[in-house]
Structure 1
């Protein structure tokens, strides 16, 4: 399957878990499609790009190491995404990566992610947290930043300040996640 055929296949993907999973299985069976899938995902003005992001999320959940050869491309481009329907799944992938990085059983993630990748994920997460994004992307960002604060000591004070500043204007879901995150920072 080439990139053009991948575009056509993505056109049939919708919000249903079934369609996203079906396409993710195709990608998992053909890992060489990760590169063109990411290229499509980062064509932010293209409506198909969000579908590519959804499929990438499902693929990463089951086969996170498939993303490792493309981490430079991934971490450089995530901060450029504007569509909420693209940001949410990419923020979730960041959460998979960062959770894996801080778990002892995932040495492969610690080996794959370098300092630059961590800094680029940190920057994107702060942008998603500060920007006008839906609460899911912000919640994933809070989780990432909370964990990254273990490695970079400047993150927790900045995260605390950001959450406190935006708390009053946040939705109920935002406030609940912010309270939980602030409690973990305090401890």
Structure 2
């Protein structure tokens, strides 16, 4: 599948779970196409960018290994995404990656997700938290930063400070995620003591 073919096919991808799953399966079946999906995702001013994000998210959920060969490209470009409907899948992919690495201990993820990638996720994550983003982006980011903070010691204190500062003005969904993440941090800190 060429970049142009994929670009045209994105016209047929919509919000429906069925369409996203169908096209994501095409990507999983043709892993080399993932690079093209990411290239279109990072065409940040293009209306198809968000559709490429949906595919990247669904394909990564189906098979985490689909994104692993592209981690350098993904992590060095993810800071450019700004449209809400494209940024949400980027944040979700970061969440998938950190869960795969830290919680599921997926061998290929643990081999390929390097410190440089983690640092990019941390940097973007805090940028997303301090800027005006939708609650889904912030919720996924809280989870990602929690996991990354189990290895990078300064992350949890900064994350806790952010959650405390934003808790009273946050939405119900944001507050719920904050409560979960605070419990995870407390449990992690007890284990470390």
Which TM-score band applies after superposition, normalised by the shorter structure? over 0.9
Name 2:190's counterpart in structure 1: none
1:96 maps to 96
Partner of 1:17: 17
User: Are positions 1:40 and 2:40 aligned together?
Assistant: yes
Taking structure 1 as reference, are residues 104 and 133 closer, same or farther at Cα in structure 2, changes over 3 Å only? closer
Structure 2: state its 5+ residue gaps.
188-193
SS of the residue corresponding to residue 169 of structure 1 reads coil
2: CA distance, partners of 1:71 / 1:83: 21
Structure 1, unmatched stretches of 5+, are: none
Aligned mates of 1:150, 1:10 — CA distance in 2:
38
Matching of residues 54-73 of structure 1 within 5 Å = 54-73=54-73
Deviation of the 1:185 alpha carbon: 1.9
- Specify the alignment match of 1:161 in structure 2: 161
> Which residue is equivalent to 1:81?
81
Q: Hey, what's the Cα distance between the residues in 2 that align with 1:105 and 1:7?
A: 34
1:173 pairs with 2:173: yes
TM-score (norm 2): 0.93
Deviation, structure 1 residue 186: 2.6
Measure, in 2, the Cα distance between the counterparts of 1:104 and 1:143.
14
Please, what TM-score do these two structures have when normalized by structure 1? 0.96
Deviation of residue 184 (structure 1)?
Answer: 2.3
Q: Count residues in correspondence.
A: 187
RMSD (CA atoms): 1.1
Give the ranges of 4+ consecutive aligned residues of structure 1 lying more than 6 Å apart after TM superposition: none
Secondary structure of 2:184's counterpart equals helix
How far apart are 1:183 and its partner, in Å? 2.5
